[in-house]
Structure 1
Amino acid sequence: MNVAVWIISGVLAALFLLSGAAKAPATKASLGANPRMGWATPFPIGLIKFIGVAEIAGALGLILPRVFDTATWLVPAAAIGLAATMLGAIVTHGRRSEYPNVAINTILLVLTVFVAVARLSS
């Protein structure tokens, strides 16, 4: 089971790191030019940057505490934070009728909850 949690944590960390890295340096102009980021246009740029930084921090929090065996309580905390981010993403994409994105965010939500529960019980 531990191997599965590590694999899922690694995949989630990579996905959230990439997603956060796309949002953190974003500008309103870059968001408008990217058709995949159309959901972000009604939101303030500061919020988009905050989400990006939170995703990067969450990605690091899924892996680094267990690797260095210090403050391991941060792993489930990071997973819970990322799950909350996915709840927001599900609501946002659902309101825009972007159902493929809702499905992806739901899968990510389930995986982050799985990691949180697995790490809380270990």
Structure 2
Amino acid sequence: MDLALWIAAGLLAAVALVGGISKTVVSKEKLAATAGGRWTADAGRGFVKTLGVLELLASAGLILPAVVGIAPIMVPVTAACWALLMVGAVSTHVRYRDGAKFVVVTSAYLALAAFVAWGRFGPESFVA
């Protein structure tokens, strides 16, 4: 179970890192032209950049606290916050009719985040 939680957290951290970099570096106009990114055309530039920074922080929060042993409780807290962010992402993809592919993938990220939060708050907690 511990290995599965590490793999899930690592995958989510990679997804958050890529998403965070793209939202903070790529222009809003280019993001709006990509598949699944139409929502950025209706969002403010600051909002998109803020989401990018939050995703970058999530990528660190899913791994680093456990690796360095400082405040490891932040791993399940970050996973729970990521799950909430994915609820918003799923509803946004549904609202913008981005297609089932985006809804399914984002729902999978939501499920992985819920798994990590459950596992690290519960049976495989870092706090003894």
**Which bin holds the TM-score, normalised by the shorter protein?**
over 0.9
1:53-111 CA-partner distances (Å, limit 9, x unpaired): 11110111000000011101110111011111101100100011222111111000000
> Larger relative CO (CA 8 A, sep 6+): 1 or 2?
2
In the alignment of these two chains, the number of paired residues is: 122
Corresponding residue number in structure 1 for 2:2: 2
Alignment gaps of 5+ in structure 2? none
Q: Give the gaps of 5 or more residues in structure 1.
A: none
Task: Please report the TM-score for the alignment, with normalisation by the length of structure 2.
Answer: 0.89
- The answer to whether the 8 A contact 1:24-1:49 is kept is yes
Instruction: Give the Cα–Cα distance (whole angstroms) in 2 for the partners of residues 109 and 36 of structure 1.
Output: 17
Report if aligned partners of 1:26, 1:49 keep a CA contact under 8 Å in 2: no
Percent of aligned pairs sharing the same letter = 37
- What TM-score, normalized by structure 1, do the two folds share? 0.93
SS at match of 2:26: coil
**Cα root mean square deviation, aligned:** 1.3
CA contact (8 A) 1:12 1:112 kept: yes
The structure that is helix-richer by fraction is 1
Runs (4 or more) in structure 1 with deviation over 3 Å come to: 32-36
2:84 is matched with: 84
Tell me, in whole angstroms, the C-alpha distance in 1 between the residues paired with 2:25 and 2:86: 20
